[in-house]
């Protein structure tokens, strides 16, 4: 199913929830809506579902204008962050309800298979009220998947689950969606979740669409500083710099120079971006070194997030493995030109790591 939004917007009173945006979602694959809280993800999904009308613009499904159709007249399944189940039905009957409406055969087998994938098969005879919040969320998710609608809308469906289960279910959902039977729209605040789900990603901020495209492309080539910030966790390291008078060098910090093979506008202010996982504590040939003081070494799972105060400001390095550092100790970080982003004075991407024309050298 192809879902196309054309200059869609939403305003309530004087408050603008969504500014005019156009998206032609990639059909029969996963489309991620990535953005912080209040970015407009839920509002956009409600318009897609027909739960409320847009203030302006049009919505097309397979080239048919459905802007005025309510949710009852659209074949859509939706799971909210706040789960909704039929309280008087058992878990089995909740999941089976869309199958029975379609008069499907082998309903028990289908329910059992979905319940097993979502780890709720031991609870099929229970009522939703007898389950934990995370278990009830999985019931709602299973019922939505059982509906096999051409459009499936998932509004942060795993946010109420513990970390381990969230990882397992994310893998399961990726496999389920790989069959290409439905167009899936999945809202999340987590960049890592967007990367794991793959497909296509739309980055939203304060009701505006910043960028839409294949997820790896949006991640590796963010169109602007705003996209780079939204699609980096931990936050991307940003360093203010200025282009030289001849346009072929960028100076930042004391004695630190970037050489450019292609000239930029002379004397303009620019921003260098470096993701946390691009900073290292081991040197490689051609690296630029940056010294500083350790402020915090935060261990999370199998990674260590090292916070360092440098002459360029505070930076964060994401190191693979568990490492221990003394607070206030001196440390040297290393970075390579292969991982540098360059944004112009308006915040637009000028150079991305892939195909970059930037090379680092130590200045005088």
CATH number of the domain that residue 31 is part of: 3.40.50.300
- What digits encode the pLDDT tens for the residues 98-118? 999 989 999 999 999 999 988
**Is residue 204 domain-shared with residue 242, that is, in the same domain?**
no
H helix and E strand count, the chain: 8, 21
Question: What's the mean pLDDT in 73-77?
Answer: 90
**Is residue 276 domain-shared with residue 348, that is, in the same domain?**
yes
Q: For position 201, what pLDDT does the model report?
A: 98
**Which is more confidently placed, 6 or 356?**
6
**Is residue 80 domain-shared with residue 220, that is, in the same domain?**
yes
Owning domain of residue 99: 3-230
Question: What's the mean pLDDT in 74-98?
Answer: 90
CA distances from 313 to 4, 59, 237, 291 (A): 43, 46, 9, 11
Q: For position 364, what pLDDT does the model report?
A: 28
**Is residue 170 domain-shared with residue 211, that is, in the same domain?**
yes
Question: 261 falls in which pLDDT band (50, 70, 90)?
Answer: low
**Which is more confidently placed, 269 or 314?**
314
Q: For position 189, what pLDDT does the model report?
A: 95
Question: What's the mean pLDDT in 69-90?
Answer: 87
Q: Alpha-carbon distance 179 to 167, whole Å?
A: 20
**Is residue 85 domain-shared with residue 14, that is, in the same domain?**
yes
**Which is more confidently placed, 18 or 166?**
18
**Is residue 173 domain-shared with residue 244, that is, in the same domain?**
no
Q: Alpha-carbon distance 141 to 117, whole Å?
A: 11
- pLDDT at 355 > cutoff 60: no
**Is residue 9 domain-shared with residue 128, that is, in the same domain?**
yes
**Is residue 258 domain-shared with residue 285, that is, in the same domain?**
yes
- What digits encode the pLDDT tens for the residues 284-330? 988 888 899 999 999 988 899 999 999 888 999 999 999 999 999 99
Q: Closest by alpha carbon to 141, among 204, 78, 76?
A: 78
- pLDDT at 244 > cutoff 50: yes
Q: Closest by alpha carbon to 186, among 215, 164, 208, 226?
A: 215
Q: For position 254, what pLDDT does the model report?
A: 64
Q: Alpha-carbon distance 53 to 65, whole Å?
A: 13
Q: Alpha-carbon distance 133 to 145, whole Å?
A: 19
Q: For position 291, what pLDDT does the model report?
A: 92
Parallel, antiparallel or unpaired: strands 200-205 and 30-34:
parallel
Q: For position 44, what pLDDT does the model report?
A: 97
| Rounded to 5°, angle at Cα 80 from 38 and 172 | 110
Helix axes 133-147, 163-177, angle to 10 degrees: 0
Q: Which residues, in sequence order, are bridge partners of residue 60?
A: 4, 65
Structural domain ending residue among the three candidates 207, 230, 253: 230
- What digits encode the pLDDT tens for the residues 51-67? 999 999 999 999 999 99
Q: Alpha-carbon distance 119 to 117, whole Å?
A: 6
**Is residue 24 domain-shared with residue 156, that is, in the same domain?**
yes
Q: Alpha-carbon distance 56 to 22, whole Å?
A: 11
Q: What single DSSP character describes residue 27?
A: T
**Is residue 221 domain-shared with residue 247, that is, in the same domain?**
no
- What digits encode the pLDDT tens for the residues 26-47? 999 999 999 999 999 999 999 9
Helix axes 91-101, 107-117, angle to 10 degrees: 130
**Is residue 33 domain-shared with residue 86, that is, in the same domain?**
yes
**Is residue 157 domain-shared with residue 279, that is, in the same domain?**
no
Q: For position 134, what pLDDT does the model report?
A: 81
Structural domain ending residue among the three candidates 191, 215, 230: 230
- What digits encode the pLDDT tens for the residues 2-30? 999 999 999 999 999 999 999 999 999 99
Query: Phi and psi (nearest 5°) for 157?
Result: -70, -15
- The kind and range of the H/E element at 314 are strand 313-320
Question: 123 falls in which pLDDT band (50, 70, 90)?
Answer: very high
Burial code (b: 16+ CB inside 10 Å, e: under 16) for 230-260 equals bbbbbebbbbebebbeeeebbebbeebbbeb
Q: For position 253, what pLDDT does the model report?
A: 67
- pLDDT at 159 > cutoff 90: no
Q: For position 255, what pLDDT does the model report?
A: 62
Q: For position 210, what pLDDT does the model report?
A: 98
Could you tell me the CATH number of the domain that includes residue 332?
2.40.50.140
Highest mean pLDDT out of 117-126, 248-257, 337-346: 117-126
Q: For position 298, what pLDDT does the model report?
A: 94
- pLDDT at 211 > cutoff 50: yes
- What digits encode the pLDDT tens for the residues 134-151? 888 889 989 999 988 999
- What digits encode the pLDDT tens for the residues 275-289? 999 999 999 988 888
Counting the structural domains of the chain, the total is 2
Q: For position 249, what pLDDT does the model report?
A: 74
Structural domain ending residue among the three candidates 230, 246, 280: 230
């Amino acid at each position: 199913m192809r879902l196309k939004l054309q200059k869609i917007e939403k305003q309530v009173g004087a408050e603008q929830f969504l500014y005019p945006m156009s998206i032609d979602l990639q059909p029969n694959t996963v489309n991620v809506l990535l953005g912080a809280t209040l970015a407009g993800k839920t509002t956009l999904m409600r318009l897609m579902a027909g739960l409320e009308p847009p203030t302006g613009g049009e919505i097309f499904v397979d080239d048919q204008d459905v802007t005025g159709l309510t949710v009852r007249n659209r074949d859509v399944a939706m799971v909210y962050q706040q789960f909704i189940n039929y309280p008087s039905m058992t878990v089995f009957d909740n999941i089976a309800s869309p199958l029975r409406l379609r008069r499907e055969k082998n309903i028990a087998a289908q329910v059992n298979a979905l319940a097993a994938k979502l780890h709720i098969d031991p609870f099929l005879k229970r009522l939703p009220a007898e389950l934990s919040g995370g278990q009830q969320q999985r019931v709602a998710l299973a019922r939505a998947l059982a509906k096999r609608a051409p459009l499936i809308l998932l509004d942060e469906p795993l946010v109420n689950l513990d970390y381990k289960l969230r990882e397992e279910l994310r893998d399961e959902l990726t496999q389920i969606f790989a069959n290409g039977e439905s167009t899936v729209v999945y809202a999340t605040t987590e960049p890592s979740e967007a990367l794991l789900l793959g497909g296509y990603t739309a980055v939203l901020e304060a009701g505006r669409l910043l960028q839409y495209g294949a997820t790896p492309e949006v991640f590796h080539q963010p169109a602007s500083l705003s996209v780079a910030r939204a699609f980096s966790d931990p936050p991307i390291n940003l360093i203010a710099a200025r282009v030289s008078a001849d346009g072929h060098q960028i100076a930042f910090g004391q004695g630190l120079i970037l050489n450019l093979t292609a000239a930029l506008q002379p004397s303009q202010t620019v921003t260098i971006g470096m993701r946390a996982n691009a900073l290292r504590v081991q040197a490689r040939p051609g690296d630029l070194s940056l010294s500083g003081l350790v402020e915090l070494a935060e261990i999370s799972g199998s990674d260590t997030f090292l916070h360092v105060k440098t002459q360029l400001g505070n930076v964060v390095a994401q190191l693979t493995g568990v490492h221990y550092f003394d607070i206030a100790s001196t440390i040297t970080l290393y970075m390579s030109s292969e991982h540098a982003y360059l944004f112009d004075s308006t915040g637009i991407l000028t150079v991305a790591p892939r195909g970059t024309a930037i090379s680092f050298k130590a200045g005088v």
